[in-house]
Structure 1
Amino acid sequence: MSSPLEQHDVSAGDVTESGGLLLKETGLLLMQPGRLELREDTIENLLSASCLLQLSAVVHACCGFLTKQLHPSNCLGIRSFADAQGCQDLHRVAHNYTMEHFLEVIRNQEFLLLPPSEIQKLLLSDDMNVPDEETVLGALLGWVQHDGPDRQQHLPLLLGFIRLPLLAPQFLADMESNPLLRESVECQRLVMEAMKYHLLPERRPLLQSPRTRPRKATVGVLFAVGGMDATKGATSIEQYCLRRDSWKQVAVMSGRRLQFGVAVLEDRLYVVGGRDGLKTLNTVECYNPRSRSWSVMPSMSTHRHGLGVAVLGGPMYAVGGHDGWSYLSTVERWDPQARQWSFVASMATPRSTVGVAVLNGKLYAVGGRDGSSCLKSVECFDPHTNKWSGCAQMAKRRGGVGVATWNSFLYAIGGHDAPASSLASRLSDCVERYDPKTDVWTTVAPMSVSRDAVGVCLLGDHLYAVGGYDGQVYLNTVEAYDPQTNEWTQVAPLCLGRAGACVVAVKL
């Protein structure tokens, strides 16, 4: 914290004669004319008086002083005071500080003494810096217990602002017997609603509400790995923080890879196959975001670029691709316990630049190229029967397609409909959604631009389309799709324009 005493120069024009007299009468202007003394014990009175008198230079000095005094033990009080005085900049800074240091704020007396209306405002925020929703619930229950007899009546209303469906199932089961919740019918209803969300995943699209929308800090981060850029191959890895809406470079791969795959196993990024510009690779390397370290993993049996990679259950699958000579229908599975690769059933169709995703316990291979054309066909793999079966075709042929799943739907995003050598080749802004229950594809809202070789990933409850190629440049633009409103919005751009980046989410 800064010193509790500061002196500021204030020009004569900033303080009128009558204003100066009023400040002197209140004992707040203690220095010679043109000098203002700011003290912890008088700052609030001085700010109130200068707001009343519209002394903007004094208000600015006071707000700057209070900004330097911000601490987890006092930020809620400064935030509330700034709001009461109409000091919007100070209120914003104090609010942002509260959100950033929320874990420390809730351990201080100021939080425990907040009125219910202020607790409600905090619980409504998406911006608090917390690792999970359990932390927010713990803060609410701690506040109630601080003055149980008086505050118990507010719990049913305030519990409605906790994202209960996003709590771990075992945590929810234990909540049912919590004495604070047991006596309230409304509290029990909210707990039951959350239990249904876990027990009936197929109904989740119908169970969406503000309580199923995760707070920004709890969804993890996106990683955009490698891809083609203006230097003919990016080796950097960028990380996106939703709460700050910003990308930053966090790591570099050991060498150049193009048309590779990435999947997340045990919160580590497995970078699989691809080509280094000269030859097709079968090598695998693993990045640990916590230690920021790389390790070499056992190689695949087959060299593959243009492959798709995904984790289904425990194992990771490497699907299709091109080995440098021919298009592949073969599929390999990585067993993390045995630390070895083995072949499973091959697809019906060879596919390179294929989109691969997991939905309802099955592995989907979407579109891609088979050597003669781009594909609109889709097939899915059942690990229990070790068989691939055909699904309904998409409306459009798509090579270089990005795929992701959200709440029992599969999305196919962007791509190209013919090889680049074809004069008729078109890039796509089109997005299609597949419902496995009806085996039907539906066209939904298009992206703002066409994106070939687009990186696609689910983060929280939005799908992100990252980079790609628009026919002229490697894109650094990123847009997010909200499946509930069927709308795309722009978010912060990448540091580096890139196409064919692999994009994955990790809960750090």
Structure 2
Amino acid sequence: MSGCDNRKGENSKDNISTISADEGLPRELSQISLSSESNSEECHCDEKHSESTLKNIYGYYQSQKLCDVVLIAGECRIPAHKVVLASCSEYFAAMFTGSLREAWSTEITLERIDPQALRSLINYCYTGSIELNSETAEILMTTANLLQLNSVTKACCDFFEKQLDPCNCLGIAVFAEQQSCLSLHAKALEYSYQHYMQVVKHQEFLALESDQLASLLKSDELNVQSEENVFESLMTWVQHDNLNREKHLPTLLKLVKLPLLSSEYLIDKVESACGNVAECQPLIMEAVKWHLLPERRSLLFSNRTRPRTSTIGRLLAIGGMDGYKGASNMEMYDPRTNTWTPFMRMGARRLQFGVAVMQNKLIVVGGRDGLKTLNTVECFDLTSLSWSTLAPMNTHRHGLGVAVLGEGPNAPIYAVGGHDGWIYLNSVERWDACSRTWSIVSPMAGARSTCGVAALRGKLYAVGGRDGGSCLRSVECYDPATNHWTNCAPMLRRRGGVSVVAAGGYLYAVGGHEAPANSAGGRLACVERYDPRTDSWLLLASLSCPRDAVGSCLLGDRIIAVGGYDGVQYLCVVEMFDEEGNSWRKLAPLSTGRAGAAVVAVPPPQLF
């Protein structure tokens, strides 16, 4: 048997062949030998591997093959692959990789999930594509947020941001807050503030809850022309459902800056609309006191007396030295955007001049043109953007101080001290808007140029400056009722080229120099404040660097210091004083350095 079997096995070789790897090949090719000298390696990378693999997986999803879980939402059943869902969603990753029973369940019911939204989002996990429109974006974002599909949530936020409109921005803000989408919430609120005057005309505004309206009214970023707009919007909301909303009036009225309304408006509008509500009467009385007792305003300061950013106007930096022949251009600062932009040019070049603002007009007084001292006066109309000429002063003056004393369209302008090209001056002139003439008033006790001049509580102050011999500490106060100057407590430091601002019942002396102006040192960074009630000066936080010829102004309730000269260069630095923190914070810089610029606050652009 065995011999027969062997022969049979041997004979079977004719029918069954065993083929070796190198059989039938030439001997020299039976083995592939790489040169030991090359020792090369190569990494193959298929750039389309991920795409083709996911495409194949999507094919299995469409044909419902190899699926290991079924998601159930309502009547909708969606077979899917756990590994794909877990790779895209933190929610599913926690569900399928943790110790929950869903990790090994083959059917999972998702409560309170929209079936169509779920199907679209599962499809997105396989394709990376989803369609957003005004009808589906809200439910898709809600579902994506629940399932922690963060990329879809962000796409929905971007979609809503592009759809912002005065008619829907408040609703989008509320929805974003509910979904904890902080970026969209902030942008929707910012849009609501910027377009507030249009927002209040739509149904969403009228449908706000009282706390939602409160969050709007308390923002200083509301873009309104005046506080009247804010009060009127509040009353529109209350009167839409007066029976149920009048009880919220006292709380919401606290968020309106009543002291910043005119006394006429307070009596004619606010008193008539809210005076019958007992809790509102103290707020109205506070605003009336603000108008009737200006000398006590420092005691009445609150959030209601701080103007909104859009109503404080804009800042103009006019002329000054820029390192060349002197600047004749103007730059305008917008506090809402923290930006400077070119504005207009002066009719002619002036240095060391004074500027006052009256009724949407800039009054540019004196100065020098580089060769001679001027007595000319020009007027720039902020409404028509045109220049005109006013009657000249009696005396040629550069380095003078200019201020408006009083309120109203006919408040007088004072031109104080300066230099006439030969001597330092102690004389003072007053512009009468009715007669359109300049007249001489009582002179100061001492001559002074490059002094700081400001009006405070119905009186005029001349601070520091130079008298030819040295820089001055002395301060004088002019009372128009008596036409007389009196001496006040001197500053703590001598200051020539000083800038002075009146704010909150105080005078602020900013920068200056205490050595000759043409010397390398002696410039000051320190700032001091004068209290007329105690007739005393107090040192405050210093500027970021020493300088004189700083331009400064009160914008809203904040002091802004602009430019200056540090002894080496003309500066473009701009700083704002924070009284509560006793510190200076830098703002956007000027486009070019300048010193001795006239810096004034002007009404918002809507008004001119």
Of 378, 381, 390, the match for 1:297: 390
SS of residue matched to 2:421: coil
What residue is the counterpart of 1:244 in the other structure? 337
Amino acid at match of 1:493: P
Instruction: State the AA in 2 paired with 1:375.
Output: L
- String of CA shifts for 1:398-454, please: whole Å, max 9, x gaps: 11100011132111111001212456x511112222222222222222222222001
Aligned-residue offset at 1:338: 1.8
Q: Tell whether the 8 Å contact from 1:28 to 1:42 is kept in structure 2 after alignment.
A: no
Cα offset for 1:383? 2.1
Q: Residue 347 of structure 1: which of 404, 426, 444 is its match?
A: 444
Distance 1:181 1:469 in 2: 54
| 1:211 equivalent in structure 2 | 304
2:279 aligned partner, one-letter code: E
- Does structure 1 residue 361 correspond to structure 2 residue 454? no
Which has the larger helix fraction?
Answer: 2
In structure 2, what is the equivalent of residue 66 of structure 1? 160
Of 357, 382, 405, the residue aligned with 2:502 is 405
Q: 1:130 aligns with which of 200, 224, 229?
A: 224
Kept after mapping to 1: 8 A contact 2:452/2:499: yes
Calculate percent identity across the aligned residue pairs: 54
Give the deviation of 1:122 after TM superposition.
0.5
CA contact under 8 A between 2:294 and 2:457: conserved in structure 1? no
3-state DSSP of counterpart to 2:350: coil
Letter in structure 1 aligned against 2:386: S
Does structure 1 retain, via aligned residues, the 8 Å contact 2:563–2:593? yes
Question: Which of 512, 518, 522 is equivalent to 1:426?
Answer: 522
Tell me how far 1:485 sits from its aligned partner: 4.1
The match for 2:415 is 318
Aligned-pair distance for 1:369? 0.6
Which of 275, 292, 317 lines up with 1:199 in the alignment?
A: 292
Q: What letter corresponds to residue 264 of structure 1 in structure 2?
A: V
SS at 1:150 equivalent: helix
1:163 aligns with 2:260: no
CA distance in 1, matches of 2:269, 2:386: 39
C-alpha contact (below 8 Å) 1:464/1:481 kept by paired residues: yes
Q: Does 1:440 align with 2:440?
A: no
CA–CA distance in 2 between the matches of 1:300 and 1:505?
24
1:148 corresponds to 2:273? no
Matches within 5 A, 1:452-467: 452-467=548-563
Partner residue in 2 for 1:4: none
**Kept in 1: contact 2:360–2:381 (CA 8 A):** yes
Query: Could you say what secondary structure the match of 1:182 adopts?
Result: coil
Task: Give yes or no for the alignment of 1:223 onto 2:316.
Answer: yes
Q: Bigger shift: 28-37 or 316-325?
A: 28-37
Preserved CA contact (<8 Å) 1:312 1:358: yes
Change (3 A) 1:53 1:231: farther
Q: 2:369 aligns with which of 276, 281, 287?
A: 276
Counterpart in the other structure of 2:282: 189
TM-score calculated relative to the size of structure 1: 0.91
Task: State the match for 2:354 in structure 1.
Answer: 261
Q: Distance in 2 between matches of 1:177 and 1:369?
A: 51
Q: Does 1:309 align with 2:402?
A: yes
8 Å Cα contact 1:412/1:431 also seen in 2: yes
Answer yes or no: is the 8 Å Cα contact 1:261–1:502 preserved in 2: yes
- Give the AA of the match of 1:442: L
Distance in 2 separating the partners of 1:375 and 1:180: 53
Amino acid of the structure 2 residue aligned with 1:278:
L
In the TM superposition, what is the alpha-carbon distance from 1:129 to its structure 2 partner?
Answer: 0.3
Amino acid in the other structure paired with 2:557: D
Contact 2:361 2:381 in 1 (8 A): yes
Q: Deviations over 1:318-366 (max 9, x none)?
A: 1111111111112222222222222222222111111111112221111
Is the 1:319–1:329 contact (alpha carbons within 8 Å) kept by the matching residues of 2? yes
Q: Secondary structure at the match of 2:239?
A: helix
> 1:245: how far off?
1.9
Q: Which structure is richer in relative contact order (CA contacts within 8 A, separation 6 or more)?
A: 1
AA aligned opposite 1:172: L
Counterpart secondary structure, 2:298: helix
| Alpha-carbon distance in structure 2 between the residues aligned to 1:422 and 1:474 | 15
| Partner residue of 1:285 out of 368, 378, 381 | 378
Give me the whole-angstrom Cα distance separating, in 2, the residues matched to 1:35 and 1:448.
53
Whole-angstrom distance in 1 between the partners of 2:420 and 2:321 = 19
Please give the secondary structure, in 2, of the residue aligned with 1:380: strand
The amino acid that maps onto 2:575 is: E
Q: Which runs of 5+ in 1 are unaligned?
A: 1-10
* Deviation (angstroms), 1:225: 0.7
SS of aligned partner of 1:178:
helix
- Checking the alignment, whether the CA contact within 8 Å between 2:519 and 2:567 is kept in structure 1 is no
Deviation at residue 101 of structure 1 after TM alignment: 0.5
Tell me how far apart the structure 1 counterparts of residues 216 and 352 of structure 2 sit (CA, whole Å).
44
Deviation, 1:209, is 1.8
Give the TM-score normalised by structure 2: 0.77
Matching of residue 387 in structure 1 with residue 484 in structure 2? yes
Aligned-residue RMSD, C-alpha: 2.4
Q: Which amino acid aligns with 2:445?
A: A
* 1:499 maps onto 2:592 in alignment: no
Which AA in structure 2 matches 1:473?
Answer: Q
Is structure 2 residue 210 aligned with structure 1 residue 116?
yes
* 8 Å contact from structure 1 (residues 176, 188) kept in 2: no
Query: Is the CA contact 2:274–2:280 (under 8 Å) kept in the aligned structure 1?
Result: no
CA distance in 2, matches of 1:163, 1:177: 14
Which of the numbers 467, 472, 492 marks the counterpart of 1:370?
467
Does the C-alpha gap of structure 1 residues 35 and 483 become closer, same or farther in structure 2, counting only changes over 3 Å? closer
Local SS of the residue matching 1:321: coil
Partner of 1:3: none
The correspondence of residues 30-45 of structure 1 with structure 2, limited to 5 A, is 33-45=127-139
Amino acid at match of 2:478: F
The one-character-per-residue Cα deviations of 1:81-107 (angstroms, maximum 9, x if unpaired) are: 122222222222211111111001011
For residues 195-229 of structure 1, give each alpha carbon's deviation from its aligned partner in whole angstroms, at most 9, with x where no partner exists: 22222222222222222221111111111111111
Q: SS of the residue aligned with 1:39?
A: coil
Once the two structures are TM-superposed, the CA of residue 299 in structure 1 deviates from its matched residue by 2.2
Q: 1:282 Cα shift?
A: 1.9
1:100-120: CA deviation from partner (whole Å, max 9, x where unpaired): 110010111100000111111
- Partners of 1:418 and 1:482 lie apart in 2 by 29
Corresponding residue of 1:415: 512
Number of corresponding residues: 495
Q: Residues 63-82 of structure 1, C-alpha deviation per residue, up to 9 Å, x if partnerless?
A: 23222221111111111112
Inter-partner Cα distance in structure 1 for 2:547 and 2:225 = 33
Within the alignment, does 1:490 sit opposite 2:586 as a pair?
A: yes
Indicate how the Cα distance of structure 1 residues 278 and 179 shifts in structure 2: closer, same or farther if over 3 A, else same: closer
**Superposition deviation, residue 502 in structure 1:** 0.8
* Equivalent residues of 2:313, 2:603 under 8 A apart: yes
The answer on whether the counterparts of 1:461 and 1:482 sit within 8 Å (CA) in structure 2 is no
Partners of 1:202 and 1:407 within 8 A in 2: no
Name the amino acid aligned to 2:326.
G
Does the CA contact (< 8 Å) of 1:72 and 1:98 recur in 2?
Answer: yes
